[in-house]
Structures are given as structure tokens and as C-alpha cells.
Amino acid sequence: MVTSDPISLTAMTVRPVDSKEEEARWDQEMAAHHYLGFRRLTGETLQHVALHGETWVALVGWGSAAFRSGHRDRYLEWPPEVRIPRLRYIANNQRFLILPEFRIKNLASRVLALSCRRLPEDYLRVFGHRVVLAETFVDPSRFAGTCYWAAGWHPLGATRGFGYHSGVYRHHGAPKILWVRPLIRDGEKMLSAPVLSPRLHGKEFRVPCNLNALPLAEGSHSLRDALSRLADPRKRRGIRHSQVSVLLVAIAAMISGSLSFRAMGEWVKTLPQDLLERLGCRRHPDSLLFIPPSEPTLRRTVGSVDPEEFSQAVGQWFLDQTLLPEDAISVDGKTLRGSRTPTRKAIHLLSAFLPSVRATLAQIPVPDKTNEIPKLKEYNGWHNLDKKTGGFCRVTTEPYDAAVPSEPDMRLSNSSGSNPHKPPVTGAGYAFQPWWLCR
């Protein structure tokens, strides 16, 4: 029942939750009052709260886009090969709740409009990229979608009644209506364009990498050669895919924009036979076709590899490809955001960064009972630097220091001073980019 309006809609504001306490309250309110209940949002998530003054009025939960949607893909005119890497630029309204004590005319559409208005910049601040299209699925047996229509959304059609659970699509018999809303002008055109717009990533945008131009699998100094030195912890019985080929597929998928195991599994299904052969995929004995590893195989194999050994091997390979005598390697330690639990201290990582290509070479965990300096000195990854650079490579804690000393220097200096060439700083430290995402 609609009540008289006790609040002014023009005074409404929407913002993300800004503390652990607010996150917990948001979760509790959603679990208590939403008809589907609540466990968690999925993917790249944001929790918005609508306020009138300091009073919570409504909650909006955003997450990653649905992995498959025929109506959406036809609307955007997406061919299969661009769908996976571009899904990250779409946000899914996974939960929307007006708190039960408020039944105000036009309140729902006002909250949705305010949330959508700030969503692109919120995603850019938190995840490093904008979203340009919003989507949601509405159950027509419960809701007409009027508030979405009033907030500028439009329906694309009904789903076939399938849901994705545990890696399998299952028919649940409850079709939903897909609604979408562009978040910025020409958002649909940006997603459909042959080349992505720099506006999606703010000032720093990297064009997708050409896999054919990378030394992934050819020659004695290829990435395959570096990965072949890693120990394989899997039991020999039942192995169908080599560890090297699975890791190569995972790395190539990440370079191409697939940042989850599910996305990797879908991406590798689209690869042509010549690229599967180049990545070392196994050949079927009867059909003679190259068979890609499945999502569970990618998940299990990548999860079984020792991360420090992997980081050292791949970082050394990357140094062999890029390091020049005049280069300086910057080193800095940061505490991993969200890693502290009631039973475990926060994880502290020591990162090595190559400023000339803006890439993280290695991330080394620092134990509780030591600090960064002894861990840096004992790291095996630097033992071959002098041989590579003729003794002129330097490791320093200054992120961008152009001077090169005349002899090897493991100088640990104070990096708190001002430096106009430092990489961008976030609340959790430097915005270092892993080497496999530099594109």
C-alpha cells in the first residue's frame, strides 16, 4: 500500500557502503527482507545504499553480468569471440530492495536512477574500468518491472528458464524478463565497436594483446620452456593434459581478458586448432583434433601449482624478454586488502615492479616474523640479474628513479618522498599491473 510521502525524493542520495559494519548491515537487511533471501553477490560487486539524510531507505546490489544471454548478445550484435572479454563492462542488478517501512510513490525508480547515474565512476574507482550497460532479470509472475521502465530501462525479452549452477545449465521452468539500460551516452555502441573506447578505462587503456606476437611456445627461451621447469604435483594416474599446456592456456586466456576460471573455460572453447596446437593441447587419438582443457581442469591444475615457484619462473622469463641494462626494478611491500580473518593475520606481499613496461615481475609473501629487507635479499629471482644486465641492474624502493649507478646496488631507500613519476596510488598501495595483463 502506498502511504503519504514523508520524505522528499529530491533529497535522496545513493552511495556505496563505506565500512565493514555497513557491509554487514546491508547483508543482514537484504537477507531479512528480500523475497529471494541473500547469501552473496557474485563477480565484481558493489553495494549501494539509498539514504534520506542518515536514514537507510533502499539497497541496491550490483555484480558481474550474466555469462550467457541470447537477447543481450543479439542486442549488442556480439560475435562469440568478443563476448567474454567485454562482459566486464556490463553490471547486473542482482538485488534491489526498498526497506519495508517505506512505501513511497516513485521511490523505487528514483533510487534506481540515482544508483545507475553514479555506477560507471564507482566501478572505475574500485575495479579500474567503467561499466556502460546495466542489466537485470525480473520475474514476471511477481513484478511488472514498472520501476525499471520509469528509471529508463527497457525489456529485451524472456529467457528460456535456465539457470547456471555448478558448471551446468539446468532448466528451472521460471523464465525471467531481461531489462537493460545504457549508463552513458552511446554505451551500446561502445560495446559493439571493433575497438574498445579509452573511456572504458579512464586515462590508461591497453589494447588487447596479439597472442601470435608473443613468444609463448616457440624457441628455447619461450614461456613454455620456463613453465616446463615447474614441478608437477598432480598424481600421474588419469592425467590427460600436461601441466605446461594448461598453464599456457590460462595465461593466454588472462591476456585476452578472461579473468575467471569460468571465463577461461569458455574462451578456450573458441580457439582455432592451430592456436590449440601452439599452446600444447593434447590431440585426440581418433579424431586427431586438439582438445582444450575444461574449466575444472584449469581450476585444479592452476590451484595445484606452487605460487612462489610459478612467480619466480615466469618473472625470470619476463625479465629475459624485457630487461635492459638501464632499467631499475622498483620494490614495495603492501598488505593484501581483505586478507585478514578472525583466525589469520593479514597477508603481506613484497612486489617487484619494472617501471619501463609498468609490469609486476613477482609478488613474494613476507612471513610474520621477518620483514621486507631480508626477504628481498634472499629471493632467488634476482641472482641472475647481473649476468643479464652486465652488472648494471639496480633494485630500489623508489618507484621511478632514473639514475643508474656504476655498480650493482641493492639500495633500500625511503620511498615516502614526493615523486611526480610514481605510479598511481590507491588505498591499498600502488596500482601495480601484473605482467600478464599488460596489453
Write the DSSP assignment of 393-426 as a string of letters.
Answer: -EEESSSS-----SS-B-------S--TTPPPEE
Q: Domains (ranges, CATH) in the chain?
A: 9-201 (3.40.630.30), 211-304 (no CATH), 323-437 (no CATH)
Give me the pLDDT at residue 356, please: 67
361 neighbors 355 (Cβ within 8 angstroms): no
Low-confidence ranges of the chain (pLDDT < 50): 1-5, 204-207, 383-439
Q: pLDDT digit string (tens) for 85-125?
A: 889 899 999 999 999 888 888 899 999 999 999 999 999 88
Give me the pLDDT at residue 168, please: 66
Name 121's Cβ contacts closer than 8 Å, sequence gap at least 6: 130
How is 240-308 classified by DSSP, letter by letter? Answer: -S-HHHHHHHHHHHHHTT--SHHHHHHHHHT--HHHHHHTT-EE-TTT--EEPPPHHHHHHHHHHS-HH
Give me the pLDDT at residue 427, please: 29
Give me the pLDDT at residue 148, please: 93
Give me the pLDDT at residue 192, please: 84
How is 213-231 classified by DSSP, letter by letter? Answer: GS-SSSSTTSHHHHHTTS-
Give me the pLDDT at residue 307, please: 81
Q: What are the strands of the beta sheet with 133-138, ordered from one edge?
A: 12-16, 46-52, 55-64, 90-98, 133-138, 177-182, 154-158
Give me the pLDDT at residue 258, please: 77
Alpha-carbon distance of 70 to 174, in angstroms, equals: 17
Q: pLDDT digit string (tens) for 337-368?
A: 777 777 778 888 877 777 766 667 777 777 77
Give me the pLDDT at residue 57, please: 93
Give me the pLDDT at residue 417, please: 37
Phi-psi region of 301 (alpha: psi -120 to 50; beta: other; left: phi over 0): alpha
N-to-C CA span, the chain = 54
29 neighbors 99 (Cβ within 8 angstroms): yes
89 neighbors 135 (Cβ within 8 angstroms): no
